[in-house]
Structure 1
Amino acid sequence: MAETERRRRRPPISCVLCRRRKIRCNRESPCSNCVRSKNANCIYENHFSQPQQATELHSSISPPIAAVAAPSLTSKSPPRAASTTTASTAASYQSSQDIEFLKNKIKQLEERLSQSNRTSQSPIQTPGSNIEAISSRIGGTFYVHHEDPLAGQPQNISRSVTHKSRMFGQSHWITGMSLVRDILNLIEPHVHEDTCKITTLMVKSKSLARTIKAQRTPHWPSPLKPDLPPKDIADELVDRYLQTTETIYRILHIPSFKRDYEAHWTSNTEPNTAFLVQLKLVLAIGATTYDEKFTLRTSAMQWVYEAQTWISEPGFKHRLNLQFLQNNILLLLAREFADVGPDLVWISAGTLVRIAVYMGLHKDPTRLPKVSTFTAEMRRRLWNTILEISLQLSLVSGGPPFISMDMFNTEPPGNFDDEQLAVEDPPPKPEGHFTQTSIAIILRKIFPARLAVVKFLNNHGSSGTYKETLRLDAELRASYKAVLRTLQGYKSTTGSQPSEFAMDVMSLLMNRYCLSLHIPFFVPAMDEAAYAFSRNVVVETSLKIWRGVFPSPLTPTSHDTVLPNRHYLARLVVCASGFFRISALQASVLIASELMGQLREEETLGLGLVRQDLLSVVGEAKTWAWKCIEAGETSVKGYFLASLHAAQIEGLMKGLERDELSRFVVKEGEKAEEECFPLLEEMLAREKLEGSTGAPEQTTPSQMVEDWDLTMSDALFDFGETELVNWGFDENYQGLSFN
């Protein structure tokens, strides 16, 4: 019987990853699928990194081999007489392929090694954009979307940043990635040296941090439990909440809440579930200013998890009332403050806006069936607070606000104290009289100007011109001047006055919007005098923000000492995550960048010519970051970054040459990590001693967002080896795989 002809196996032309996942490969090196999935090893088993390389190699084969090998690659049924010759030639061709494969592999490894020893900043041109890939061994990869060259603006303006699977608009602090690029370049060459301990120490710290988080992370789901802290502690936590958060974001009717709170402790009946959720969220928020070490962090996280479990129950239509809205708002703030997925709160805020619209809060009560003054004012207050928090979260997350002035006609809250709403049809107090709602009314007055800023920065298709920036700056300043006149009027009266905390937060809010508006032009201003105004605004505004959250000096206080009211903000930026802490981080990085820019501009600049007010911030930033770790922050990268900045500025002031400066900065970075390591070990021991019952074997909300956290400096220093996101097909499961 004639020997059955073996059909020639077609050489694979897709890369290994695409062929394994059975998806189309564009055969580039790396291919488009590997680029999207951040796969650094795009390998072709046909021994060529690109199809055109195969063509070039085939043409370089000696003529006798090529003449015989070519038919064998194209003919499906070669003549039997030539089978021996073909087999011999094929073996020679295979041997040639093996040699070329090894050569090509060595070349690829050499290129990858060369790239790993320097920071890659190669622009990737795409239609209508200019995308720059900034990657390094210690920083990971960021794709910075620069200004469209056709827009007539400087191309080094960052319009947005893509990192992992998310895109951040201009208001997100990570768009200032270019501010730390120089320091990454400075230490990158030494990271690969055997004597450098930066990577080893950071990996150990990150491992400890994950263990600590697992210890303190509650089980999911966490059913609501009736247990509360002792009443004296609960009283203080409630008081801290009412003196801080409630003065800015009007959520509760304070007399009603206090009445229900006292009844909860004296009643023997089953507690009202919705109120118990509300109370635990108030306690969680109050815990962030309870003491300097956030000793109730684990309890606060537990309370947040219980509230999240309750709110996440399906079929909540019967709960659509004002108390349910209050609990949702409190949950957003508690998640952000207690570090339970704070960078994803913006997504939940969108759901809250839709719930409020579904309940008709976007319509003024005068346009709805008649309700009492109490109900009408509570609806106005809650809608006002939802608008404010949604806008603030859009600013922090770098996302479009998805709200506009024409989507609602609800009037601002009336100028009432809470006690007034207990009577029928009370008249509002005069505008110049300060009430418990005055701060909320002021925020509403400047809401349109701030909304325009966030839309300008984050909306798709925004022009981003400098002329528009200056126009928005003028509108923002004009609205703030009117606010300052109102606040000064309150301070000059003998009646009720706003607290120092409320005044400081108002200043911080306005300065943060102004800062975000000018940051895109801060880096171009280093080289172009046309943007000198923005540079000055960024520096001076950053200094105002820093002094607001870090009074100089910040006097340490004991656990039992009651801080003055204005120091609650300083405590909040240490203990809580989210908006307030990010503001401090951003301000310190910008000030350090300005100092380094000045030192480079004036090569002969001496110590006596450096602005001491800016220089002091550099040292204070280390102190602040250290306090954050003492308060339970598990990431040491904020302290690490502050130490690098301080070392680089010190080295520049000493006139160190680049190589000497590089080694000095690396040494200080290692020292910073070594200082933090015992603190983390102590934190872990304390968590175990307190008997925290985490659930590391489960997938909890905080664990799911751990690798996505960009609320602090984690994103700048990624020492992980894992593949970030694979947008493809898993070979064992016929569906999308997110590994």
Structure 2
Amino acid sequence: MSTRSESRDHSPDASPEKRASKKRKVLSCYACRSRKMKCDRIYPVCGRCQKTGRADQCTYDPRLLEELPVNSDGHAEGAQSYAPPEHGSGPVSSDLLTWKLRMQERRIESMEKKLASLNGANDSYLDFPSSRFDDFEPEEPHLREEMMFRGKGFKTQFHGSTSALSSLATFGELQAFTREAIISHGNFGRIREDFIVFRNRRKAILKERRLKMHGSDDEIYALVPDKSVVDREAALYFRTWETSYRILHEPTFWKQYHAFWERRTNEEASASFAAVLIYVVAVTKCLEPKEDNVFVGDSSADREAALDLIESGDAWLLRQNRKHLTLQFFQLHCLSLLAKRVNNLKCKQDWVACGDVMRLAISSGLHRNPKPLAIGRVSEYDREMRRRLWLTIVELEAQSSLDCGIQSSVCGLYYDVQPPSNIPDEAFSPETHQIPASRPVEHFTSASFQNMAARSLPLRLHLLQLLNNPTTDMHYTDVLHYDGQLTSLLSSSPGWTDPRAALPLALLELQLRQYLLIIHRPYARLAAKNQRYSYSFTACIDVAAAMLASYESLISKGILAVNHFRSDILRVAATLAQVVYYNCPSTTAQEPAPTMPTPASDTTKPPQAHTPELKIPHLPTNNFLAATLCTTAINLLEKARQLFEHKITRLGTGYMEYWLVCAALGMMPATDQPATSISSIMNVAPDDFRSRGKKALDRVTSHCYRVLSMQKDPENSFASSLRTTITVASPVTPMSNAGGHAGAPPMAYGWDESMPTLLPGASGMAGALAEGKGLVGGAFDGLEDMQVDLSGWAFPDFWAFDIPNGGF
């Protein structure tokens, strides 16, 4: 008969683990327990060990770290007041996590105190702990948000940080320079009245013309030019824009084109295709240099013709039903956006119009991959065209958002549509059942630009959202990080040798380099005060030179599309002017312009909140690198002025921006007067402020006379009255050295003879001067040029571009 113990030993549940006694948890620290002293059980160091100097010996049972809660004072409760967590009970409670965090903080604090005491005993000149240098963080500058907010009530206009106008709005010295220059040398009282009359007359004509537009099919048919004209314009369109922003399928277009002229299609399809032809002609109307370019008032005749086509096309497009969307419907909307932007029409409404088309695309699912969602309902041809149109809309909307300083609609949007295949248009058609494999990126096709642009799109959208968020706390290390990413993308750009690739390659570089200018400009302005930002100073000059070189290369090839389409020149000019001005020592102007009001001044306008002190910059004398960079930047700024003059000469718009560029050039330091020291600069009388303002004004007035001399109807009442007004207001003055800055080469008849001239008619200015007509200023309606709500501005304030800092 077995004993009770033997019975327990042979039971099924008996095991060595169960028989082993459980070791009790030690609640006190081991140091107090070994000394049989009372422990207050405060972790990580109890009070007794802390007082006796044995903090390094105070350790607890590790099993307590996962089970014991603590009171608010950090005192561990008795073992009987808590139980260990059950197996699989879920995540650890927040109280336990807080307790563990506090324990770690106290332990770290204790170790830091001990380390500090040891370092204090062994401190010497050559024995510094590495942590002192590892913990060093350079102080970040406080950068104010750059934005422009104009108007009152609900008639306001906003431009965010990435807008070129916002950077000009914070350049208070340029505003002061333009205001004082106009007050000193411009008698625009009667000119202002003439412009008001002309503006009202032009608006009345446009309003009357819009009332007559019904958007009917007959109007669209009547506006289509002759076939010989359309042949030339359509071929130019496919050589330029269809190598980058893909909207039309070339083989399909030419097939419909021939059918259109032969009247083989039904009337509805013919009207839609007629609208396509109207937009194509409007897009290409001003894309080539023209020997006999003429003006109608302030706008070129070709631009006026393009505006008529666009207005009629939009009126017809508004009448179309949006319920039944087709491929041609989206193509027409994209062509409308492209035509208006190329001709600088309705610039203030561009971001809203792009957003409208973007929402149409999203509501139609263009942002999603239709292959798994609509099996058998979307053909291979439609699938490829959806990809192309989606990226075209995204690129147009993203660039418009950047120019306006507003976040894009794509920021934060989930989209999984694949980039277009890198195949030519001839490789697929509406009858294609299987799209060919995409070709290598080194092989240029009409879809290569979109294929490459899609690679940098996530980074560009991220930067667009980051830069236009006022709450973003970006440090200079972040700037260098994004600089590395953008530079890496630029270096991976394919070296296409196809002649058609000139425009796509330029666009790929420009859409990345513009972000480099934006992120580096605020720090480049501080390079003179902190050498840490010298790299940003150098980067801005290098990026500006590369961007201007791209524009010069395109214009030398007769490609004006990019210069008309983008606002990079204004951004580059604003960046160069600010970087040079704030990195040069300056002296206060000795002869400031008088501030008495002119007859055209608005005496009811309240005084400005802040007027920056007018100072004349000089090249640095104690920093050779800074002096070299500033000299290079001034030369680049003159190139920017010439490139911008090409734009306004061909289009007849953008006059106020041109005046700002000329004024910025007039503010720059002289480059032909070397100085040996700062003291010598301070003792020499600064350049005459009045002459600087006059040089800037002469640039604008000379171009204005050129516009008047090329009027389509020289005897029209507006041109005649304006000539009479300006002859009285602006007497004949010699124009020696009418350049934008001191030391510029002498100018003949007010413009640079070395500058390549688009229009031979500009030489007629010499004869006009010989007849005593003088230099005239203002043959344009600049009040409609900028993407700013300028209604209600007094004319002198418009020229002064006076944006008080207090408005922010």
TM over 0.5: yes
Deviation digits for residues 610-663 of structure 1, max 9, x if unmatched?
766534333333433433332242453334333333333365755797775311
Task: Read off the aligned partner of 1:412 and give its amino acid letter.
Answer: P
Verify the 8 A CA contact 2:179 2:797 in the aligned structure 1. no
Cα shift at 1:384: 1.7
TM norm structure 2: 0.59
Asked if the contact 2:286/2:651 (under 8 Å) is kept, the reply is no
Q: Which amino acid aligns with 2:527?
A: A
Which residue of 1 is the match for residue 385 of structure 2?
378
Structure 1 residue aligned with 2:167, among 161, 176, 186? 176
Question: How big is the shift at 1:206?
Answer: 4.9
Alignment of 1:309 with 2:315, yes or no, is yes
Q: Please say if residues 337 and 353 of structure 2, whose CA atoms lie closer than 8 Å, have aligned partners that are also in contact.
A: yes
1:53 is matched with none
Structure 2 counterparts to residues 203-602 of structure 1, below 5 A: 203=192, 206-207=195-196, 210=199, 214=203, 217=206, 219-220=209-210, 222=213, 223=215, 224-226=219-221, 227-267=223-263, 270=267, 272-292=270-290, 293=293, 295-313=301-319, 315-318=321-324, 320-369=325-374, 370=376, 371-404=378-411, 406-422=413-429, 423-432=432-441, 433-459=443-469, 461-482=471-492, 484=493, 487-488=494-495, 490-491=496-497, 499-551=501-553, 564=557, 567-568=558-559, 571-572=560-561, 576=564, 578=565, 580=566, 582-597=567-582, 599-600=584-585, 602=619
Counterpart of 1:550 in 2: which secondary structure?
helix
Larger CA deviation: 379-388 vs 421-430: 421-430
Question: Do the aligned partners of residues 686 and 240 (structure 1) sit closer, same or farther apart at CA in structure 2, a change above 3 Å counting?
Answer: farther
Identity of aligned residues (%): 20
| Unaligned runs of at least 5 residues, structure 2 | 1-137, 294-299, 586-617, 674-680, 720-780, 799-808
- AA aligned to 1:668 is K
Query: Is the partner of 1:333 in helix, strand or coil?
Result: helix
SS at match of 2:510: helix
Shift of 1:300: 0.9
Q: Which amino acid aligns with 2:574?
A: V
Q: What are the Cα deviations for residues 81-102 of structure 1, in whole angstroms up to 9, with x where unaligned?
A: xxxxxxxxxxxxxxxxxxxxxx
Question: 1:225, 1:446 → 2: CA distance?
Answer: 39
Looking at structure 2, the residues matched to 430 and 314 of structure 1 have their Cα atoms a distance apart, in angstroms, of 38
Deviations 1:521-569 (A, max 9, x none): 33333433333222222221111111111349x66xxxxxxxx4xx31x
Aligned-partner SS, 1:325: helix
Q: 1:166 to 1:644 in 2, by over 3 A?
A: closer
Letter in 1 for 2:486: L
Structure 1 residues 437 and 182, CA gap change in structure 2 (3 angstroms): same
Match of 1:662 in 2: 689
SS at match of 2:481: helix
Would the aligned equivalents of 1:518 and 1:537 in 2 still touch at CA under 8 Å? yes
1:675 aligns with 2:663: no
Q: Is the 8 A contact 2:188 2:796 kept in 1?
A: no
Gaps of 5+ in 1: 1-150, 556-563, 693-704, 723-739
The secondary structure found in structure 2 opposite 1:225 is helix
Please give the secondary structure, in 1, of the residue aligned with 2:319.
coil
* 2:697 aligned with 1:710: no
Do the aligned partners of 1:295 and 1:631 also contact (CA within 8 Å) in 2? Answer: no
Equivalent pair of 2:354/2:397 in contact (CA under 8 Å):
yes
User: Aligned-pair distance for 1:345?
Assistant: 1.0
Alpha-carbon distance change, 154 to 709 in structure 1, aligned in 2, over 3 angstroms = farther
Q: In structure 2, do the counterparts of structure 1 residues 345 and 421 end up closer, same or farther at CA, with 3 Å as the change threshold?
A: same
State the shift of 1:599 in Å. 4.5
1:535 is paired with a residue whose SS is helix
Which AA in structure 2 matches 1:171?
T
Contact map agreement 1:216 1:298 (CA 8 A) in 2: no
Larger radius of gyration: 2
Q: 1:502 Cα deviation (Å)?
A: 1.7
Deviations 1:47-76 (A, max 9, x none): xxxxxxxxxxxxxxxxxxxxxxxxxxxxxx
Q: Using the alignment, how far apart are the partners of 1:153 and 1:257 within structure 2?
A: 56
Residue of structure 1 in register with 2:758 after alignment: none
Which residue identity does 1:337 align to in structure 2?
V
Q: Deviations over 1:374-426 (max 9, x none)?
A: 11111111112112211111111111112136521111112222112123313
Matching residue's letter, 2:701: E
Separation in 2, partners of 1:190, 1:689: 31
Q: Cα gap change, 1:396/1:452 in structure 2, threshold over 3 Å: closer, same or farther? A: same
How many residues are treated as equivalent by the alignment? 531
Q: 3-state DSSP class of the match of 1:640?
A: helix
1:210 maps to amino acid:
R
678 and 511 in structure 1: CA distance in 2 versus 1, 3 angstrom threshold: same
Relative to structure 1, is the Cα distance of residues 285 and 669 closer, same or farther in structure 2, using a 3 angstrom cutoff? same
Report if aligned partners of 1:414, 1:428 keep a CA contact under 8 Å in 2. yes
| C-alpha distance 205-262 of structure 1, shift in aligned 2 (>3 A) | farther
Structure with a larger share of its residues in helix:
1
Find the partner of 2:148 among 161, 165, 174. Answer: 161
Inter-partner Cα distance in structure 1 for 2:695 and 2:782:
27
